[in-house]
Amino acid sequence: MNWNSQIDVHLAEEHKASHPVGLVDGAGDFAQRVRFNHRKDNSGLHARYKFNARSHVRLVVPFILVLSLGRNAIAGRPEEKVCDVRADYSLGVEDYAEAIRLHQEILRKHPDNALAHYHLGFAEGMVGDPTVEIMEYERAEALGLRVWDLFLNLGLAQLETGDLDAAANTLGKAVLLGEQHFESHFNLAFVDERRGMLADAERETLTSLRLSPRQPEARNLLGVIYAQEGETSRASEIFRKLVRDMPDYEPGRANLMILGNANHGGDNEITAVSVRGR
């Protein structure tokens, strides 16, 4: 088989390429972050995957980001427990520059406001600064903030910087604190898949699907995991059902096509490509 062309895969959300290694693990927007309390960005992006003779067959995966803007239970004085309404409004309408300015202003007056550090970190991450994002999340944790989505977002930021072991450890905390939230299990599964721990990834993906059976990202990731384990017929069936149920879900359509080409092309090593979006 000789694939010299490139395949353009259109994603429905805004994505950034991350750690190219294989299938589209649509596990988080092709590694997507879905923002709760935020409108979705409808800008599109084309990710190109190049296949050569006996190439890696690349499937696509997204991951899921969650932000709580409501009050969170933490110890401390009243000003440490809540954020400024204007600052959080800016965050909610995705005016990240203003959100950063207002949260920095809060922290100049109240440097021990854990929630403000968390929200500042989220805004910094949304403008593409994962180093500051991680630093602010860690400050929030050190000040006593213990909410599952803090650890979920910290783990995803660590993933973005390439620290898979730290990401897995942090997302494990998100699972412990948010065991009834499908997003925590899904994102841990995503990181386990990136680390090659496919049995663990499968377990967490199935748990996520038990909590939210129709979520396309986890269904897509499960297909990617099966494909990497060599169960291509099982993977193809998952992608077919996903496309049947959600014909506009691009990662599923892309992976069904990619896997179909691979099955007709002989012996290929199947890996996964994640595309990260915020």
**pLDDT of 78 above 60:** no
Q: Crossing angle for the helix pair 148-160 and 164-177, nearest 10 degrees?
A: 170
pLDDT of residue 262: 63
* 63 DSSP 8-state letter: B
pLDDT tens per residue across span 240-252: 999 999 999 999 9
**pLDDT of 94 above 70:** yes
Average pLDDT over residues 258-262: 79
State whether 141 and 171 are in the same domain.
no
Q: Which residues of 265-277 are buried (b: 16+ CB within 10 A; e: fewer)?
A: beebebbbbbbbb
d(CA 272, CA 55): 12
**pLDDT of 194 above 90:** yes
pTM of the model: 0.73
State whether 177 and 272 are in the same domain.
yes
Task: Return the CATH number at 218.
Answer: 1.25.40.10
| Domains identified in the chain, total number | 2
Instruction: Identify the residue with better confidence: 75 or 257.
Output: 257
* 24 DSSP 8-state letter: E
**pLDDT of 159 above 90:** yes
pLDDT of residue 81: 55
14 and 250 Cβ atoms separated by less than 8 Å: no
State whether 132 and 183 are in the same domain.
no
Residue type, 54: R
In a domain, 55, yes or no: yes
In a domain, 265, yes or no: yes
pLDDT tens per residue across span 223-234: 999 999 999 999
pLDDT of residue 229: 93
**pLDDT of 8 above 50:** no
In a domain, 1, yes or no: no
Q: Which two tokens stand for residue 246?
A: 């959600």
State whether 193 and 119 are in the same domain.
no
**pLDDT of 175 above 70:** yes
**Could you list the residue range(s) of the whole structural domain that residue 244 is in?**
6-66+165-276
268 and 54 Cβ atoms separated by less than 8 Å: yes
In a domain, 124, yes or no: yes
Q: Which residues of 191-230 are buried (b: 16+ CB within 10 A; e: fewer)?
A: bbbbeebbebbbebbebbbebeeebbbbbbbbbbbbbbee
- 49 pLDDT tier (thresholds 50, 70, 90): very low
pLDDT of residue 59: 62
pLDDT tens per residue across span 146-156: 999 999 999 99
Average pLDDT over residues 112-131: 95
Closest CA to 153 of 204, 194, 138: 138
